[in-house]
Amino acid sequence: MPNYKTLAIIKMELHEKLMSKSFISMTIIMPVIMLGIMGMQSLIVLYQGDKGSHVEILTESDSLKAEFQNGFAELDFVKNATYRLGFDTVSRENLKGYIQNKKPELLSHKLNAIIFIPSKALEDKQMEYYSNTPGNITILEKLKDPINEVLIEQYFSTKNLSEKEIIFARKGVNFSHFKVSEKDEMQEQGLGNTIIALVLTFMIYMSLIFSGTMTMQSVQKEKSNKIVEVLLSSVSSRELMTGKIIGVTITSIAQMIIWILPVLALKSTSWFVLPGKMTIDISYGHLIYFLINFLLAVLIYQGLFATVGAIFDNHQDAQTAVMPIIMLLLIPLFIAMSMMRNPNNPLAVISSFVPFATLIVMPARFALVDMPVWQLGISILINIATLSAIFPLAGKIYSVGILRVGKKPTWNEVVRWLKYNY
């Protein structure tokens, strides 16, 4: 139970962190940065850079050329002039010469590609694509389906079929996603949960990194400033470390609650109407579990970060030494991301029961997969066990390290500290 000394330290930590301007700005700025990074990533991936592409479509017959001209006139990217399409006819024998003629334009990228659609394509759909950069799939991705549709239409037009049948033939396949769960009714599930899982995972990761680094720096500063000498003549190193970690934990939890308020709002009010594809299936139980798990995560990682801060008296050494802890956060983050494609992949399932990894992987799994509650219980037990295993060790290293100055200690020495009588 924290005594008045620990409370005084907690109060000071809260005064310094929770009541500070930087808390307010971090709480607002961090999600903005996060969304910025995620948005930027998808923007870059989606950016095709194919605006103003010039493509020529060659057929062997005028009738086929006319079909393509008609079929393509209605396409969005033609109407808004993103693509400039030219149509021409050329026989198989003259193709080589034609391309030879166009070579300067192809090389200078005034013309990006030539697509040759022989009449035989109506039987085997085999076409030819000529370009200076045939590896560029953007143009083909865009034209593939329209070309196929024209071919299908052309093919069936001689087969005496109804419009309805042709429309059917033109269609691709499409799935609706239903989640089969213990609940009686089956719900249609969209991307909503995947996005929420991704966002929550990212929030845990970012929050742990930021608060951890802050704790590490503040411990390390107290050490290099020698404030710790005065502090320890008043409080024990255990009280000091406990106060610090509790202070940071309260700050982090407050921050996390502010962050998940929008999720709560989406869930509990009808202010925002989400499109069917984006519905969120998150219960209050999810959120409570999420916060409990986050609380344990903050405690565990604060312990690690504070310990590293106490070992070193200069910033650079501490920054280097903290890398393994960052990896301990980064690897589970990647595993959690891999679940966005296949929530049941074995790596994710196993790592959701591995100490440290479970803190980040399990909440993501919980949002994506229906899992029995006992598995969450086990995860929490694993975390509590981890916490009780590392805290005595971390406390010991902290108490030795915090007053130690001089030469940078080796890991061997740090292990030896565990045997010191402090």
Partner 1 sequence: MHALEIRNLSKSFGSLKAVDDVSFEVHEGSIFGLIGRNGAGKTTTIRMMMNIYMPDSGEVFLRGNRIGPEIKNIVGYLPEERGLYPKMKVLETLLFFAEIKGKKSKDLTKKAKDYLERFDLADRINSKIEELSKGNQQKIQFIISIFHDPEIIMLDEPFSGLDPINTNLLKEIVLENKRQGKIIILSTHLMDFAEKMCDHLAMIDHGRIILHGALSDIKSKYSPKNVSLNYEGDISFLNNHAIIDNISDFGNNTGIRIKEAGQTQELLRLLVEHNIKVKSFVTNDISLQEIFVELAGKHPAEEMNHA
The one among 234, 314, 344, 345 contacting partner 1 by CB under 8 A: 234
The one among 55, 127, 199, 235 contacting partner 1 by CB under 8 A: 235
270 binds partner 1 (CB under 8 A): no
Least CB distance to partner 1 at residue 338 (A):
42
Which strands make up the sheet holding 128-130, listed edge to edge? Answer: 83-89, 53-59, 113-117, 128-130
Least CB distance to partner 1 at residue 180 (A):
56
Closest to 352 (Cα-Cα) out of 417, 289, 265: 289
Least CB distance to partner 1 at residue 376 (A):
39
Query: Which structure tokens are listed for 299?
Result: 């405690």
The one among 197, 318, 403, 414 contacting partner 1 by CB under 8 A: 403
18 binds partner 1 (CB under 8 A): no
- What is the C-alpha to C-alpha distance for residues 406 and 285, in angstroms, rounded to an integer? 50
Q: Any idea of the CA torsion for 142, 143, 145, 150, to the nearest 10 degrees? A: 150
179 binds partner 1 (CB under 8 A): no
Contact call for residues 332 and 356 (beta carbons, < 8 A): yes
Residue closer to partner 1 by CB (options 172, 406) is: 406
The one among 236, 319, 338, 375 contacting partner 1 by CB under 8 A: 236
What are all long-range contacts of 348-356, with beta carbons under 8 Å and residues at least 24 apart?
352/379, 353/378, 353/379, 353/382, 355/382, 355/383, 355/385, 355/386, 356/300, 356/328, 356/332, 356/386
- What is the C-alpha to C-alpha distance for residues 230 and 226, in angstroms, rounded to an integer? 8
245 binds partner 1 (CB under 8 A): no
Residue closer to partner 1 by CB (options 318, 348) is: 318
Sequence-distant (≥ 6) Cβ neighbours of residue 91 within 8 angstroms: 60
16 binds partner 1 (CB under 8 A): yes
> For the chain, first and last CA: distance in Å?
21
397 binds partner 1 (CB under 8 A): no
Closest to 131 (Cα-Cα) out of 140, 122, 143: 140
229 binds partner 1 (CB under 8 A): yes
The one among 91, 157, 225, 345 contacting partner 1 by CB under 8 A: 225
420 binds partner 1 (CB under 8 A): yes
Span near partner 1 by CB under 8 A; candidates 6-14, 43-51, 208-216, 263-271: 6-14
Characterize 290-323 residue by residue with b for buried, 16 or more Cβ atoms within 10 angstroms of its Cβ, and e for exposed.
beebbbbbbbbbbbbbbbbbbbbbeeeebbebbe
110 binds partner 1 (CB under 8 A): no
Least CB distance to partner 1 at residue 227 (A):
4
Contact call for residues 304 and 414 (beta carbons, < 8 A): no
Least CB distance to partner 1 at residue 246 (A):
15
288 binds partner 1 (CB under 8 A): no
Span near partner 1 by CB under 8 A; candidates 46-54, 218-226, 248-256, 390-398: 218-226
- What is the C-alpha to C-alpha distance for residues 68 and 51, in angstroms, rounded to an integer? 21
Span near partner 1 by CB under 8 A; candidates 171-179, 188-196, 332-340, 414-422: 414-422
Which amino acid, one-letter code, is at 319? Q
51 binds partner 1 (CB under 8 A): no
Least CB distance to partner 1 at residue 422 (A):
6
Least CB distance to partner 1 at residue 17 (A):
12
Least CB distance to partner 1 at residue 220 (A):
13
Interacting residues with partner 1 (CB under 8 A): 4-5, 8-9, 11-12, 16, 222, 225-236, 403, 413, 416, 420-422
